[in-house]
Amino acid sequence: MASRRTFLVVTLLAVPGLAACAAKTTAGAGSTAVAISANDTACDLGVSTVPAGATKFHVTNNGSKTTEVYVYGLDGAAFTKVVGEVENVGPGTSRDITATLTDATYEVACKPGQTGDGIRTKLTVTGGAAAAASSPVATADRQVALTTDGKAITGAPATAKTGETIEFTLTNNGPAARALEFKDPAGAVAGVSASIQPGQSGKLTVHLDKPGTWDVNVEGDNVPDITVTLTVG
């Protein structure tokens, strides 16, 4: 599956023949930076526990294949809920993922060749139960229904207001599983839905906090993204 939130950036030095050492660095109150060293056979976070809150994953691909990396939360009994992702991380390059993590267990999956379930590493997030319980639930200002046949997206609005929160429902009429993804004007992933099977619908609530052109993507495994734009102003 293909995807794409201000924090301290962790830089890794790639040494030929050696995997870079992954590390975690706190980046001010409530934010954390985690370095991920990915290659063709490993997905090394270097840490197993981080505090709850805003988290930035700095992915460095030390392998020979283009990779993509997902952060999965639990959806029922399976780690299938996408809370952050990055794709097209070429050999010797780095990309970032940002996500807000609550007190729970997650799985980070590196997918060399951008296929399959990936090489998975568990990540435990602690200390966020009280904060999560006291946080207000986001209320959508409106609902928008989208559909896809696997080739196009219909129903997407052309414009929205800065500060608006919209609940999008995507109905997948295509032949394979798809997910709905939003990217803000800077190219950061603002939200990704869980995988939506053919004939089913899924929801994603997005807070449009920045003016500019947002990308609305429908993505799937081993297929190009379907993209329309949303002008927020």
Answer yes or no: are the C-beta atoms of 171 and 179 closer than 8 Å.
no
194-232 burial, b if ≥16 CB within 10 A, otherwise e?
A: bbbeeeeebebbbbbeeeeebbbbbbbeeeebbebebeb
**At residue 28, does pLDDT exceed 90?**
no
pLDDT band of residue 128 (cuts 50, 70, 90) is low
Domains of the chain, each with CATH number or no CATH: 24-134 (2.60.40.420), 142-232 (2.60.40.420)
* pLDDT: which is higher, 10 or 106: 106
Selection from 73, 75, 112 nearest residue 196 by Cα: 75
* pLDDT: which is higher, 91 or 132: 91
Each residue of 59-118: pLDDT tens digit?
999 999 999 999 998 888 889 888 888 888 999 999 988 888 889 999 999 999 998 889
Q: Would you tell me how many other CB atoms lie within 10 Å of the CB of residue 181?
A: 26
The model's pTM is 0.54
Answer yes or no: are the C-beta atoms of 66 and 117 closer than 8 Å.
no
If 0-12 CB within 10 Å is exposed, 13-18 middle and 19+ buried, where does residue 175 land?
exposed
Distance CA 24, CA 124 (A): 13
Each residue of 39-68: pLDDT tens digit?
999 999 989 999 998 899 999 999 999 999
The per-residue pLDDT for 168 is: 93
Residue 160 structure tokens: 């929205």
**At residue 171, does pLDDT exceed 90?**
yes
